Amino acid sequence: MNLFTIADLHLPLGADKPMDIFGGWDNYVERIENNWKKLVNKDDTVVIGGDISWAISLAEAKPDFEFINSLPGKKIILKGNHDYWWGTANKINEFLSENSFDTIEILHNNCYSDGNFAICGTRGWIYDGTGEKDQKVILREASRLETSIKFAVENNVKPLVFLHYPPVYAEYVCDEILNALKKYNIDTVYYGHIHGKGIYNAVSEYDGIKLKIVSADAVDFTPQFVTKCKMFEKV
Protein backbone atom coordinates (compact mmCIF):
# COMPACT_ATOMS: atom_id res chain seq x y z
CA MET A 1 0.00 0.00 0.00
CA ASN A 2 1.12 3.56 -0.72
CA LEU A 3 0.37 7.04 0.61
CA PHE A 4 0.00 9.88 -1.90
CA THR A 5 -0.97 13.53 -1.66
CA ILE A 6 -2.25 16.32 -3.89
CA ALA A 7 -3.92 19.64 -3.09
CA ASP A 8 -6.16 22.22 -4.76
CA LEU A 9 -8.32 20.10 -7.04
CA HIS A 10 -10.72 23.06 -7.37
CA LEU A 11 -13.45 20.81 -8.72
CA PRO A 12 -16.25 22.68 -10.55
CA LEU A 13 -18.74 19.85 -11.07
CA GLY A 14 -21.34 21.34 -8.71
CA ALA A 15 -20.53 25.00 -9.32
CA ASP A 16 -19.94 26.84 -12.58
CA LYS A 17 -16.42 27.99 -11.83
CA PRO A 18 -13.91 25.95 -13.84
CA MET A 19 -10.20 26.68 -13.61
CA ASP A 20 -9.73 26.20 -17.36
CA ILE A 21 -9.69 29.97 -17.76
CA PHE A 22 -6.24 30.00 -16.14
CA GLY A 23 -3.13 29.05 -18.05
CA GLY A 24 -2.14 25.42 -17.69
CA TRP A 25 -5.48 24.28 -16.26
CA ASP A 26 -7.03 23.05 -19.51
CA ASN A 27 -8.95 19.75 -19.12
CA TYR A 28 -7.71 19.58 -15.54
CA VAL A 29 -10.48 17.38 -14.14
CA GLU A 30 -9.83 14.78 -16.83
CA ARG A 31 -6.07 15.05 -16.23
CA ILE A 32 -6.50 14.56 -12.48
CA GLU A 33 -8.67 11.51 -13.07
CA ASN A 34 -6.32 9.92 -15.62
CA ASN A 35 -3.16 10.52 -13.59
CA TRP A 36 -4.84 9.35 -10.38
CA LYS A 37 -5.98 6.08 -11.94
CA LYS A 38 -2.52 5.40 -13.35
CA LEU A 39 -0.90 5.61 -9.90
CA VAL A 40 -3.40 4.94 -7.13
CA ASN A 41 -4.80 1.51 -6.29
CA LYS A 42 -7.88 0.70 -4.21
CA ASP A 43 -5.75 -0.12 -1.13
CA ASP A 44 -3.77 3.14 -1.28
CA THR A 45 -4.50 6.38 0.60
CA VAL A 46 -4.47 9.93 -0.79
CA VAL A 47 -4.41 13.09 1.34
CA ILE A 48 -6.15 15.96 -0.46
CA GLY A 49 -4.77 19.19 0.96
CA GLY A 50 -7.70 21.57 0.71
CA ASP A 51 -9.43 23.71 -1.93
CA ILE A 52 -11.28 20.62 -3.03
CA SER A 53 -14.49 22.08 -4.48
CA TRP A 54 -15.72 25.47 -5.64
CA ALA A 55 -19.17 24.70 -4.18
CA ILE A 56 -20.53 26.94 -1.44
CA SER A 57 -22.64 24.26 0.25
CA LEU A 58 -22.42 20.52 0.84
CA ALA A 59 -25.44 20.00 -1.40
CA GLU A 60 -23.73 21.88 -4.22
CA ALA A 61 -20.52 19.95 -3.60
CA LYS A 62 -22.20 16.56 -4.04
CA PRO A 63 -21.11 16.02 -7.69
CA ASP A 64 -17.52 16.81 -6.69
CA PHE A 65 -17.64 14.29 -3.87
CA GLU A 66 -19.15 11.72 -6.21
CA PHE A 67 -16.14 12.23 -8.49
CA ILE A 68 -13.66 11.93 -5.62
CA ASN A 69 -15.41 8.88 -4.17
CA SER A 70 -15.27 7.16 -7.56
CA LEU A 71 -11.47 7.42 -7.72
CA PRO A 72 -9.35 4.52 -6.41
CA GLY A 73 -8.11 4.52 -2.83
CA LYS A 74 -9.06 6.00 0.51
CA LYS A 75 -9.13 9.81 0.60
CA ILE A 76 -8.40 11.91 3.67
CA ILE A 77 -9.32 15.56 3.11
CA LEU A 78 -8.54 18.80 4.92
CA LYS A 79 -9.95 22.28 4.56
CA GLY A 80 -8.65 24.94 2.21
CA ASN A 81 -9.43 28.65 2.09
CA HIS A 82 -11.91 28.20 -0.80
CA ASP A 83 -13.81 25.28 0.73
CA TYR A 84 -16.87 27.36 1.64
CA TRP A 85 -18.99 24.19 1.81
CA TRP A 86 -16.99 23.02 4.85
CA GLY A 87 -19.20 23.00 7.96
CA THR A 88 -18.87 21.25 11.30
CA ALA A 89 -17.22 17.84 11.44
CA ASN A 90 -20.59 16.31 12.36
CA LYS A 91 -22.33 17.85 9.35
CA ILE A 92 -19.61 16.71 6.96
CA ASN A 93 -19.56 13.20 8.38
CA GLU A 94 -23.36 13.01 8.14
CA PHE A 95 -23.18 14.17 4.52
CA LEU A 96 -20.54 11.55 3.69
CA SER A 97 -22.53 8.80 5.39
CA GLU A 98 -25.91 9.75 3.89
CA ASN A 99 -24.45 9.71 0.39
CA SER A 100 -22.39 6.54 0.87
CA PHE A 101 -19.15 8.39 0.17
CA ASP A 102 -17.36 5.63 2.00
CA THR A 103 -13.85 6.26 0.68
CA ILE A 104 -13.63 9.80 2.10
CA GLU A 105 -12.80 10.95 5.66
CA ILE A 106 -11.89 14.36 7.09
CA LEU A 107 -8.72 15.50 8.85
CA HIS A 108 -9.95 17.94 11.50
CA ASN A 109 -8.64 17.95 15.09
CA ASN A 110 -7.64 14.31 14.68
CA CYS A 111 -5.13 12.08 12.91
CA TYR A 112 -4.98 8.75 11.09
CA SER A 113 -2.45 6.03 11.90
CA ASP A 114 -1.24 2.89 10.15
CA GLY A 115 0.87 1.80 13.12
CA ASN A 116 4.08 3.33 11.72
CA PHE A 117 2.99 6.73 10.41
CA ALA A 118 0.24 9.19 11.23
CA ILE A 119 -1.47 11.61 8.88
CA CYS A 120 -1.65 14.94 10.74
CA GLY A 121 -2.51 18.48 9.76
CA THR A 122 -4.84 21.43 9.44
CA ARG A 123 -5.59 24.31 7.08
CA GLY A 124 -3.06 26.81 8.44
CA TRP A 125 -3.48 30.52 7.74
CA ILE A 126 -1.92 33.47 5.96
CA TYR A 127 1.68 34.11 6.88
CA ASP A 128 1.42 37.90 6.90
CA GLY A 129 -1.81 38.26 8.88
CA THR A 130 -1.40 41.10 11.33
CA GLY A 131 -4.98 41.93 12.28
CA GLU A 132 -6.58 40.77 15.51
CA LYS A 133 -8.91 38.42 13.61
CA ASP A 134 -5.98 36.93 11.69
CA GLN A 135 -4.03 36.35 14.87
CA LYS A 136 -6.96 34.51 16.44
CA VAL A 137 -7.24 32.25 13.41
CA ILE A 138 -3.49 31.62 13.31
CA LEU A 139 -3.43 30.64 16.99
CA ARG A 140 -6.45 28.38 16.49
CA GLU A 141 -4.87 26.68 13.48
CA ALA A 142 -1.55 26.22 15.32
CA SER A 143 -3.48 24.65 18.20
CA ARG A 144 -5.31 22.31 15.81
CA LEU A 145 -2.02 21.30 14.25
CA GLU A 146 -0.50 20.57 17.64
CA THR A 147 -3.56 18.56 18.68
CA SER A 148 -3.27 16.47 15.53
CA ILE A 149 0.45 15.85 16.00
CA LYS A 150 -0.04 14.99 19.68
CA PHE A 151 -2.30 12.11 18.71
CA ALA A 152 0.56 10.66 16.67
CA VAL A 153 3.20 11.22 19.33
CA GLU A 154 1.04 9.67 22.05
CA ASN A 155 0.59 6.59 19.86
CA ASN A 156 4.32 6.32 19.13
CA VAL A 157 4.04 6.79 15.37
CA LYS A 158 5.83 9.23 13.06
CA PRO A 159 3.73 12.32 12.21
CA LEU A 160 3.39 13.15 8.53
CA VAL A 161 2.15 16.74 8.29
CA PHE A 162 -0.17 18.18 5.63
CA LEU A 163 -1.30 21.81 5.47
CA HIS A 164 -3.21 23.90 2.98
CA TYR A 165 -1.31 27.16 3.48
CA PRO A 166 2.49 27.03 3.34
CA PRO A 167 4.09 27.91 6.68
CA VAL A 168 6.72 29.86 4.73
CA TYR A 169 6.31 31.60 1.39
CA ALA A 170 8.75 34.01 -0.26
CA GLU A 171 9.81 36.34 2.59
CA TYR A 172 6.75 35.59 4.77
CA VAL A 173 6.91 33.24 7.74
CA CYS A 174 4.11 31.96 10.00
CA ASP A 175 5.98 31.57 13.27
CA GLU A 176 3.04 30.06 15.15
CA ILE A 177 2.75 27.14 12.72
CA LEU A 178 6.52 26.74 12.52
CA ASN A 179 6.82 26.65 16.31
CA ALA A 180 4.37 23.75 16.44
CA LEU A 181 6.35 21.92 13.77
CA LYS A 182 9.66 22.49 15.55
CA LYS A 183 8.24 21.45 18.92
CA TYR A 184 7.63 17.97 17.55
CA ASN A 185 10.69 17.80 15.28
CA ILE A 186 8.65 17.60 12.08
CA ASP A 187 11.07 17.26 9.18
CA THR A 188 8.73 17.49 6.17
CA VAL A 189 5.50 19.35 5.39
CA TYR A 190 3.26 18.96 2.33
CA TYR A 191 1.17 21.99 1.36
CA GLY A 192 -0.86 23.58 -1.44
CA HIS A 193 -2.55 26.96 -1.99
CA ILE A 194 0.12 28.43 -4.30
CA HIS A 195 -0.57 28.53 -8.04
CA GLY A 196 0.74 29.80 -11.36
CA LYS A 197 3.75 32.08 -11.30
CA GLY A 198 3.60 32.08 -7.51
CA ILE A 199 4.98 28.55 -7.56
CA TYR A 200 8.40 29.99 -8.44
CA ASN A 201 8.47 31.76 -5.05
CA ALA A 202 7.77 28.56 -3.11
CA VAL A 203 10.33 27.76 -0.42
CA SER A 204 11.58 24.16 -0.43
CA GLU A 205 13.33 24.20 2.96
CA TYR A 206 13.30 26.45 5.99
CA ASP A 207 15.16 26.02 9.27
CA GLY A 208 15.73 22.33 8.60
CA ILE A 209 12.12 21.57 7.58
CA LYS A 210 11.50 20.37 4.02
CA LEU A 211 8.51 22.11 2.45
CA LYS A 212 6.92 20.27 -0.47
CA ILE A 213 4.35 22.04 -2.62
CA VAL A 214 1.67 19.73 -4.00
CA SER A 215 -0.84 22.18 -5.50
CA ALA A 216 -2.40 20.43 -8.50
CA ASP A 217 -0.82 22.71 -11.09
CA ALA A 218 2.56 22.52 -9.34
CA VAL A 219 2.65 18.72 -9.68
CA ASP A 220 1.12 18.42 -13.17
CA PHE A 221 -2.23 17.31 -11.69
CA THR A 222 -0.65 14.10 -10.43
CA PRO A 223 -0.84 12.62 -6.90
CA GLN A 224 2.60 12.63 -5.28
CA PHE A 225 4.06 9.58 -3.55
CA VAL A 226 4.79 10.07 0.16
CA THR A 227 5.64 6.65 1.58
CA LYS A 228 4.83 2.97 1.67
CA CYS A 229 2.18 2.34 4.31
CA LYS A 230 -0.50 0.11 5.75
CA MET A 231 -4.19 0.90 6.03
CA PHE A 232 -4.82 4.18 7.90
CA GLU A 233 -7.47 4.36 10.60
CA LYS A 234 -8.68 7.33 12.64
CA VAL A 235 -6.99 7.66 16.03
- Does residue 213 carry a pLDDT above 80? yes
* DSSP category for residue 109: S
**Cα angle 217, 223, 228; round to 5:** 150
3-class secondary-structure state, position 219: coil
3-class secondary-structure state, position 83: coil
- Does residue 128 carry a pLDDT above 70? no
As for how many domains the chain has, the answer is 1
Q: In the structure, what pLDDT confidence band is assigned to residue 161 with cuts at 50, 70 and 90?
A: very high
User: 160 φ, ψ to 5°?
Assistant: -110, 120
83-87, 136-140, 204-208, 218-222: least confidently modelled range: 136-140
Looking at residue 16, what is its pLDDT? 75
Q: In the structure, what pLDDT confidence band is assigned to residue 135 with cuts at 50, 70 and 90?
A: confident
Looking at residue 133, what is its pLDDT? 81
Q: In the structure, what pLDDT confidence band is assigned to residue 131 with cuts at 50, 70 and 90?
A: confident
In terms of Cα–Cα distance, which of 121, 147, 125, 122 is closest to 134?
125
- Does residue 143 carry a pLDDT above 80? yes
Domain range for 39: 2-234
Gap between the Cα atoms of 120 and 179, Å rounded: 15
Q: In the structure, what pLDDT confidence band is assigned to residue 24 with cuts at 50, 70 and 90?
A: confident
Average pLDDT (41-66) is 97
Q: In the structure, what pLDDT confidence band is assigned to residue 130 with cuts at 50, 70 and 90?
A: low
Q: What is the CATH number of the domain that holds 100?
A: 3.60.21.10
3-class secondary-structure state, position 173: strand
3-class secondary-structure state, position 134: helix
Say if residues 194 and 167 touch (Cβ distance below 8 Å).
no
What is the per-residue pLDDT across 28-42, written as a single tens digit (0 to 9) for each?
999 999 999 999 999
Gap between the Cα atoms of 155 and 138, Å rounded: 26
Average pLDDT (85-101) is 97
Q: pLDDT exceeding 70 applies to what percent of the chain?
A: 98
Query: In one letter, which amino acid is 22?
Result: F
